A and B are shown apart, each in its own frame.
Chain A
Amino acid sequence: AQSVTQLDSHVSVSEGTPVLLRCNYSSSYSPSLFWYVQHPNKGLQLLLKYTSAATLVKGINGFEAEFKKSETSFHLTKPSAHMSDAAEYFCVVTEGLKAAGNKLTFGGGTRVLVKP
């Protein structure tokens, strides 16, 4: 079985400072991991994904995430926050089980607030 825990429900940062969103996962098989962003009243947009290639993954809008198997973590970072980064962020895991199809399991979300 797979599960995802986002360690912070809310993160508040000042514009121009680094952002760190923490995610831990549990998976019985080799997982694929994703970060999605949801802006207010919008659908979800993929930021980046890890699928067993390079452990440091670069995504859109300056975000990156590092897969650490020993720590079962997939934390999302950005060196300098922008006002437009204010949104809800979801860490997502899916397992390499054909029977499971492409079933995404979502974390509880982290709401990011960016202060001017």
Chain B
Amino acid sequence: DTAVSQTPKYLVTQMGNDKSIKCEQNLGHDTMYWYKQDSKKFLKIMFSYNNKELIINETVPNRFSPKSPDKAHLNLHINSLELGDSAVYFCASSRGQGFSYEQYFGPGTRLTVT
């Protein structure tokens, strides 16, 4: 069974479009995250939710909006896509929001904006 899954795996779209990436975890974890990995492999956190409540919101354009319908899901919606949004987006989850809890990562979604 896949612990943290993301759909789609690949997403190719044009500038100005709106798209969503979905994430689901079956680990029973309380906390979920979105990370962005750029072309230089640099990883940076974007958002974190704990029990459907937003707890980390880094400096991310308003075009990005996370939504957590329940503890097991954290979706990422992106409006008015730009070329600079091209990246690999990783979802992750952890048992709690304490700093020592390890995070489990999904396989990533490669977004290409043309």
**Residues of chain B lying within 8 A (CB to CB) of residue A100:** 56, 99
Instruction: Encode contact with B along A92-116: 1 for CB under 8 Å, 0 otherwise.
Output: 0011110011111010110000000
Residue in chain B with minimal CB distance to A31: B99
**Residues of chain A lying within 8 A (CB to CB) of residue B100:** 32, 49, 51, 94, 96
Q: CA A23 – CA B101 in complex, angstroms?
A: 20
B residues 74-93 near A (Cβ < 8 Å) are 90, 92
Instruction: From known contacts A43-B90, A108-B42, A109-B42, infer whether A102 and B99 are also in contact, taking CB-CB under 8 Å.
Output: yes
A44 touching B90, Cβ below 8 Å = yes
Q: CA A53 – CA B33 in complex, angstroms?
A: 26
**Residues of chain B lying within 8 A (CB to CB) of residue A67:** none
Interface residues on B, range: 20 to 34
**Residues of chain B lying within 8 A (CB to CB) of residue A64:** none
- The answer to whether the Cβ of B102 comes within 8 Å of any Cβ in the partner chain is yes
Q: CA A51 – CA B102 in complex, angstroms?
A: 10
A43 touching B107, Cβ below 8 Å = yes
Q: Which of these, A45, A88, A96, A101, contacts B48 with CB under 8 Å?
A: A101
B42 touching A101, Cβ below 8 Å = no
Q: CA A55 – CA B105 in complex, angstroms?
A: 25
Residues of B within 8 A of A (CB): 4, 31, 33, 40-45, 48, 50, 55-56, 90, 92, 94, 96-108
